Structure 1
Amino acid sequence: MTRTKRGWRNAAAIVLGALIAVAPGQVARAESVLKFVPHADLAIIDPYATGAYITRNYGYMVYDTLFALDNAYKPQPQMVERWKASDDKLNWTFTLRDGLKWHDGQPVRAADVVASLKRWGVRNDSYGQPLLAAASAIEASDDKTFRIALKTLFPVLEALGTLTSPTPFMLPERLAETDPFTQIKEAIGSGPFKMVMAEWRPGHQVVFTKNADYVPRTEPPLWATGGKRVKLDRVEWNYIPDPLTAWQALAGGEVDYWENLANDYVPMASHDPNVAVTSSLGFIGTMRFNHLYPPFDNIKMRQAVLAVLDQRDFMAAMAGDPSNWRTCPSVFACDWEAADPPGGEALSGPRDYDKAKRLIAEAGYKGERIALLDAADIPQLHAEALVANDLLKRLGLNVDLVTAEWGTVVKRVNDKAPPEQG
């Protein structure tokens, strides 16, 4: 599978004064509400069913993990109280913390963990599937203890704490026993917030309320680790796909936080005394071929596109000013040592249309339809799709630009049916 990856900076905008601390000893107070504009619509609430970040972000609201990564990328315990490994690192035993409860009031049990890991393992190909292959047993010893026995060495803690989506969020056993490829329809976790299903309006709004039964760890919060102490009664995700409308809502005080501030609005937001613009780690953009079916099941077709793809064309359309983005010939983030791998010149070297057309001829391309998914409600992804559409057409390929909202795109990405079926 050939992949291209581009990194771009992103910014979040916050209305100053939106997050208000409550004085100690205050008895009566108004409900604290954060109104948040997410980067995409939440269409899938099964945390294992998609790699979409919007589902992962929802997951961190509703669910909890056994381990998590700190700011040094080291796994630290979350739901786990203590653990031990045998000297040969092939047998691992874990004990859960006291006081863990599901949102329906039932206690969290080791059997829930085992069922969750087995279901997650099927859907996560970076850590989950290798863990299942390396393990001879994943089983509960009692209600608080579970064990993982390995046939070969494996980075167990890194797997249990991975931030990679789908993330290993824990589910109740009755939900985790659902077939991994059948989406669950309930949002029952043990995390710091509860999803209010009655107020979920796909394409518009998701509502979360504080989980009064949540017991945070005693350690201070550090990235994805430590105590998650909830200081809000209610969080409202208000999906606003149009950047102008989102900016007007933020500037007018109708919302408090815009997660993915469009680049065109950064200067305006930066000069507004009531708005704080914060930079984050940024995003990595990825385009993926459907290599299950023609024409991109043929490696020469994938190589043909790679021969002419210029990351700079995409980044200029997606993020504008070059100060907002960087390129590197890698599937890894640009700051990593692995961001300049052997063979990277295939993506960073001179673009060669003659080579591309020769490869297409050698592949025997017969005009098969190519469905290019376009998430038109996310400006950066829409721009990416338009550039890709132009590129493929210049190669003489039969491209059908399929425009839809992000939620629909996510569902279609998970569909392995042939393109001619939709």
Structure 2
Amino acid sequence: MKRISAAVALTAVGALAISGCAANGGGNDSGDDSGLVEGSSITAAWNQAFYSMNGNTSFGNATANNNINYLVLDGFNYYDNTPKLIENKSFGTYEKLSDDPLTIKYTIADGVKWSDGVDVDASDLLLNWAALSRALDTPDFDPTQYQDAETGEFTGDLPTDVVYFDSGATPDAGVGLVSQTPEVSDDNKSITMVYDKPFVDWELSFPSPLPAHVIGEKALNLDDATEAKDAVVSAIQDNDAAALAPISSFWNSGFNFTEMPDDAALVTASGPYMITDFVADQYVTLKANPEYKGDNAPNIEEITIRFIPDPLAAVQALQNGEVDIISPQATADIKTALDAVDGITVKTGVEGTYEHVDLQFDQGKNSQNIFSNPKAREAFLKTIPRQEILDTLIKPIAGDDALLRSSQLFVPGAEGYDEAVKTNGSDAYAEVDIEGAKALLAESGITDTSVCILYASNNPRRVNEFALIQQSAAQAGFNVTDCGSEKWGGLLGTPGAYDASLFGWQSTSLGVTNSLPTFQTGAINNMNFYSNADVDDLVAQLNVEFDADKQIDLQLEMDKLLWGDYYGVTIFQFPGVTAFSDRVEGIDPSILAPTIFWNAWDWAVTDSGE
């Protein structure tokens, strides 16, 4: 028998991660006080392969990575599926010591260890600060010659006197506002950070740290974990560029891998699970971390995550019993296919992810850098068949829940959304305007009308969207060409690689500020070289604004500027679908990333699956 239920309704969301598609308690019937059922295993499917254990770099910031990193790297808090921010006190605590200046103390709980038995401590937190604040970075350094031209991945060591952490941090947001080196406690369990200015989302600004001892050992050629940790701390406290250069180089690229690394130290974990096997483009296997003593101890000993880009192939794998859980990008064919499968539960709803097209304001592939021209940008946006995409590809799945999104900042249904749509200028793109686009393109003076669009070429829905855009834009005189790639995520932001991109931003928090790095000059999620001084000023104001009404006013102003700059167009909120076999229980998706994985420690094998 198939069970169908509706997922949680969509609410206001903020922080974003590149999407490839789309609290502790319960789930244990083993009778074992530890919760872990020895020998238990399940398999989940995801549509994009893992490629980095550092999701805080511009290269590694992707849902495909952070789903797994969420389970292997513990942190101070996480969202449940209501969604509510849960403090993870078994990992550590944070305390606001002062409002003026904003002063936060982070303390690691007793007994918290890395999977290799080394204590998690202040050295890990201090390195996290250095990377996420970039306060010690060499000023005005251009890293492009040390990055892969096609993907932006750091591929070589930085010069011996150059410090550069690729976290995309800016000095007016998050930990970027902590310009002074934090104080380390005498017991080496805490750091205290003093913000230069108040920051409204300070609780969300300090994600899971990476192991400082591993980075110190690899970057500084040391063998002893304690010596390596001490060396990292000294390098930071002394602002020693000669030591920080290799440390930052390793932080940028040392945790990037597309198959199981030969060096087991690179998968050192602090979370409930650790990576134990990884076959390129096929699967990652996670096993319960024996050193994990936190509140979120898992029931399942082994979780394998298979990479299945084709949604129909994921359904087939579920039907065949090859996987137990899928959360594919929803299509009409997926809905039909799932209806034919017995012995599963299907949960549907609206996700906190939205589809959009962004235009490259600079360094595009076009010989005339076509979208540096505002008339060309406006012309192209007028050709994008938003309603046709919604009607053709989304309504057959979601029905009346199909949502055309018309704001860059507000989620449909959230406070401020309706007012934004009335005032931001998005109504100019409610319908295709081919004649208007032709006139604007003629006025632009552009002679090279080629527009190469980057998208996931192995994603059927994106292939269909590309075709609809290509056909529509051709009527106005644009020559839309195919920059689709299975490695699209790593290509985002790469100079000269494409002219426009088609993908989804997935929300990871409810923070008011955390979508702002998409639009701020030089910030981590700014993949299209967009820059507007007025937008940057509004970002700076939002970062320190605690009044909810004023936050909305500032966002309304910013949304209008973005549409007025012809930044790009939003298209639709994702319809979500999760399906799982009767062999497993405890699956209860969240609208926020990491969606199905948020409570993986609660998953359990049912009696019917044993």
The verdict on a shared fold, with TM-score over 0.5 as the criterion, is yes
For 1:81 and 1:26, the matched residues in 2 are separated by 24
C-alpha spacing 1:308/1:398, structure 2 compared with 1 (3 Å): closer
Query: 1-side partners of 2:494 and 2:252: how far apart?
Result: 10
Alpha-carbon separation, structure 1, partners of 2:85 and 2:498: 41
**Which letter maps to 1:242?**
D
- For 1:390, the equivalent position in structure 2 comes to 471
- State the Cα distance separating 1:138 from its structure 2 match: 4.3
| CA separation of 1:396 and 1:77: change in aligned 2, threshold 3 A | same
Q: Report how far residue 336 of structure 1 moved.
A: 1.6
Task: Provide closer, same or farther for how the CA distance between residues 117 and 310 of structure 1 changes in structure 2, counting only shifts above 3 A.
Answer: farther
SS at match of 1:276: strand
Shift of 1:181: 4.9
Q: Which of these residues, 179, 193, 208, is aligned with residue 148 of structure 1?
A: 193
Match of 1:244 in 2: 312
Percent identity (aligned): 20
TM superposition shift of 1:140 = 4.2
Q: Following TM superposition, by how much is the alpha carbon of 1:417 offset from its aligned partner in structure 2, in angstroms?
A: 4.6
In structure 2, C-alpha distance between the alignment counterparts of 1:241 and 1:359, rounded to whole Å: 38
Q: Check the 8 A contact 1:116/1:172 in 2, yes or no.
A: no
1:369, distance to aligned residue in structure 2 (A): 4.1
1:191 partnered with 2:271: yes
Alpha-carbon offset, residue 277 of structure 1: 0.3
Q: Counterpart amino acid of 2:494?
A: D
Change (3 A) 1:348 1:374: closer
Alignment partner of 1:275 is 2:320: no
Partner of 1:232: 300
Correspondence 1:55 to 2:65:
yes
Distance 1:412 1:292, change over 3 A: same
What is aligned with 1:380?
461
Q: Which amino acid letter does the alignment assign opposite residue 47 of structure 1?
A: G
- What secondary structure is seen at the aligned counterpart in 2 of 1:367? coil
Aligned in 2, Cα 1:232/1:128: closer, same or farther, shift over 3 Å? farther
Counterpart for residue 201 of structure 1:
279
Cα deviation, 1:254-289, whole Å, max 9, x if unaligned, reads: 211112164323244246440100125423212222
Distance 1:249 1:120 in 2: 40
How far, CA to CA, are the matches of 1:200 and 1:133 in structure 2? 34
Query: Residues 138 and 146 of structure 1 are in contact (CA less than 8 Å); yes or no, is this contact kept in structure 2?
Result: no
- Is 1:288 matched with 2:298? no
DSSP 3-state at the match of 1:277: strand
Could you give the per-residue CA deviations for residues 66-121 of structure 1, whole angstroms, max 9, x where no partner exists?
23345354463453324132142522222221222222322112221222233245
Matched, 1:315 2:390: yes
In 1, the alpha carbon distance for the partners of 2:192 and 2:36 equals 46
Aligned to 2:51, the other structure's residue is in SS state: coil
- Tell me what 1:15 maps to: none
Alpha carbons of structure 1 residues 99 and 39: separation in structure 2 relative to 1, 3 Å? same
What 5-or-longer segments of structure 2 have no aligned partner? 1-15, 135-165, 217-246, 257-265, 364-368, 500-610
The separation in 2 between residues aligned to 1:401 and 1:279, in whole angstroms, is 32
Q: Do the aligned residues in 1 keep the contact of 2:44 with 2:304 (CA within 8 Å)?
A: yes
The range that moved more, 319-328 or 121-130, is: 121-130
C-alpha separation in 2, matches of 1:375 and 1:25:
45
Structure 1 residues 291, 317: CA separation in 2 closer, same or farther (over 3 Å shift)?
farther
Counterparts in 2 of 1:28 and 1:139: CA distance versus 1, 3 Å: closer
CA distance in 2, matches of 1:73, 1:114: 27
Q: Structure 1's 73 and 387: CA in aligned 2 closer, same or farther, altered over 3 A? A: farther
1:126-151 Cα offsets, whole Å, 9 max, x none, are 98861244223242413211121122
RMSD in angstroms over aligned alpha carbons? Answer: 3.3
Q: CA deviation at 1:182?
A: 3.6
Q: Which amino acid aligns with 1:412?
A: L
Query: What is the alpha-carbon distance in structure 2 between the residues aligned to residue 134 and residue 25 of structure 1?
Result: 44
1:212 equivalent in structure 2: 290
* CA distance in 2 between partners of 1:27 and 1:230 (Å): 7
Match for residue 108 of structure 1?
Answer: 120
CA–CA separation in structure 2 for the residues paired with 1:384 and 1:38: 21
| In 1: Cα distance, 2:86 partner to 2:193 partner | 17
CA distance in 2, matches of 1:105, 1:26: 19
| Distance in 1 separating the partners of 2:350 and 2:430 | 27
Counterpart secondary structure, 1:278? strand
> Residue 381 of structure 1 aligns to which amino acid in structure 2?
R
Q: Could you tell me which runs of 5 or more consecutive residues in structure 1 were left unpaired when the two chains were aligned.
A: 12-18, 162-167, 218-227
> Following TM superposition, by how much is the alpha carbon of 1:203 offset from its aligned partner in structure 2, in angstroms?
1.4
Equivalent position SS for 2:481 = strand
Paired AA for residue 73 in structure 2: Y
Query: Aligned pair count?
Result: 386
Q: Tell me if the contact between 1:328 and 1:339 (Cα under 8 Å) persists in the aligned partners.
A: no
Pick from 312, 320, 328 the counterpart of residue 260 of structure 1.
328
1:248 is matched by which residue type in structure 2? Answer: Q
Q: How far did residue 31 of structure 1 move?
A: 0.9
Give, in whole Å, the separation in 1 of the partners of 2:70 and 2:299.
15
Q: What SS does the aligned partner of 2:461 have?
A: helix
2:102 and 2:197 in contact (8 A); partners too? yes
Task: Supply the distance in 1 between the matched residues of 2:412 and 2:321 (Cα, whole angstroms).
Answer: 36
CA separation in 2, counterparts of 1:389 and 1:118? 44
Q: Give 1:37 deviation, angstroms.
A: 1.0
1:325 equivalent in alignment to 2:395: no
**Amino acid corresponding to residue 402 of structure 2 in structure 1:** W
Is 1:22 equivalent to 2:30 in the alignment?
Answer: yes
Contact 1:208 1:234 in 2 (8 A): yes
Shift of 1:195: 0.9
1:177-236 per-residue CA deviation (whole Å, 9 max, x = no partner) reads 43365463333331111012xx3122111111111211223xxxxxxxxxx231111111
1:106/1:159 CA distance change after superposition, 3 Å: same
Map of 1:221 onto structure 2: none
1:65 aligned to which of 75, 92, 100? 75
Verify the 8 A CA contact 1:139 1:146 in the aligned structure 2.
yes
Where in structure 2 are the equivalents of 1:85-124 lying within 5 Å? 85-121=97-133
Secondary structure of 1:94's match?
strand
Does the 8 Å contact 2:286/2:303 carry over to 1? yes
In the alignment, the residues of structure 2 paired with residue 304 and residue 103 of structure 1 have an alpha-carbon distance, to the nearest angstrom, of: 54
State the alpha-carbon separation in 2 of the partners of residues 391 and 147 from structure 1. Answer: 55
Give the Å deviation of 1:347: 4.9
User: Matched residues in 2 for 1:327 and 1:118: separation?
Assistant: 40
Q: Write the mapping of 1:399-410 to structure 2, written as runs, cut at 5 A.
A: 399-405=480-486, 408-410=487-489
Read off the aligned partner of 1:31 and give its amino acid letter: G
In the superposition, relative to structure 1, how do residues 239 and 349 fare at CA in structure 2: closer, same or farther (>3 Å)? Answer: closer
TM-score, normalised by the number of residues in structure 2: 0.57
The match for 1:343 is 424
1:412 aligned residue: 491
Work out whether residues 387 and 431 of structure 2, in 8 Å CA contact, stay in contact via their aligned partners in 1: no
